[in-house]
Amino acid sequence: MKLQTANCKLGTANWELGTGNWELGTGNWELSKLTHNTFNMLKTFFLLLPLMISTCRQNDAPSPTEFAGYNNNPVLERGKPGSWDELFVSAPQVIFFENTFYLFYMGGNVAGRMAIGLATSGDGFNFRKFKGNPVLAPDTSGFDAFTVGPGIILKEDTCWVVYYNCQELPGYSPGPSVGRAAAKELSGPWVRGNTPVMTSGKKGEWDDGFILPCSVLKLEDGGYRMYYTGGRDFAGRADFYIGMAFSQDGFTWKKHNDPSTTLQPFAESDPVFMTGKEGAWDEKEAWMANVSKIPGGFIMYYAGSNGKIEAIGYSESRDGIHWERYRGNPIYNLQNGFDTKYSGEITTTSNPFFLRFDTIFFLYYYFEQNAQFGSIGVATGK
């Protein structure tokens, strides 16, 4: 997968037509030197110019992979009654390392406590939960006393790092902080920091309610980029936006801020991806962005909702800040072959995670049926 790059440099090309040597955009023309044939060529060029521009735009349009649901979904189910993940399993993050697929997920129980679990697989479809789950749980005190997760995994030179959402007080919604922990092995033990590395915005800001890490990228210059979901009221299920933050060391983060927006809710920072227009399938929510760096730019799979159905969309960007939605969104929803061993209506498809393995593309996601807390599924494409 790569961004389409059409060569349409209309303002910089050097043209030599007949005896007239000129540059578009410079206005340095000597009409007396133009022959009759040159004039006709110019006329043809300007007649075809709108078509040329239209073609460039079509070639530049985002083009995602087509996915089809796995016949034996779900690939991971919630635990038995009384277990730490009895209520749901969600927010998959999959790492392929040393011939094994490691699936990190967030689980929760009926008391509202959430933690991070691990499951492994040899083929990316058949997963077995780690016996030592959860691998990272609430600390019973401090900023992550009650909730830990979901977790975003990153490979460093000498260890693994996880960035995770957390909160100190009971509740089913995401918390106002992002924590960081490190481990030598993917199964742990994970050693957490004493303080959060990032927190939600001040009162009145667009992310003053919660801040949920979605993707962390290590860039070629040695710095880091984090994409996160922010919002004011999780229970309200509206105005979920995607923000971005930068870091040079992975510990101190600075949120993206457009200096031209000086009033709340965008005085301190600005989202890089907002909800769709009124009437769009993602007019209420745009969140849980899984961002990947590819040659020439970035791609994003994200969850969107209009308040009734939640599905997965796709977008592309050259700089990771300005994004263009795929015109055919959503790219994965109820029509994409949900073959599961359960019966009932699927109302939610969210929390996407994209993974390329050899020639196969995996799209892991969370889904719900009959408006009940759900499981983790997978779709594949080539």
Cα angle value 194/215/367 (rounded, 5°):
110
% of residues, the chain, pLDDT over 70: 79
The pair phi, psi for residue 288, each rounded to 5°, is 50, 55
Q: pLDDT tens, 251-294?
A: 999 999 999 999 999 999 999 999 999 999 999 999 999 999 99
What pLDDT does 334 receive?
61
Q: pLDDT tens, 304-362?
A: 999 888 899 999 999 999 999 999 999 997 655 444 444 455 668 899 999 999 889 99
Query: pTM here?
Result: 0.82
* 3-class DSSP assignment, residue 47: helix
| pLDDT value at 197 more than 90 | yes
Residue 116 and residue 102 in contact, taking contact as beta carbons nearer than 8 Å: no
Beta-ladder partners of 330:
none
- Which of 141-145, 198-202, 204-208 bottoms out in mean pLDDT, i.e. has the lowest? 141-145
What pLDDT does 214 receive?
96
Work out the average pLDDT over 217-238. Answer: 91
Q: Give the position of tokens 């301190």.
A: 268
Q: Determine the length of the chain.
A: 382
Residue 268 DSSP symbol: S
Q: pLDDT tens, 48-89?
A: 444 343 334 334 556 788 998 898 999 999 999 999 999 999
Residue 71 and residue 339 in contact, taking contact as beta carbons nearer than 8 Å: yes
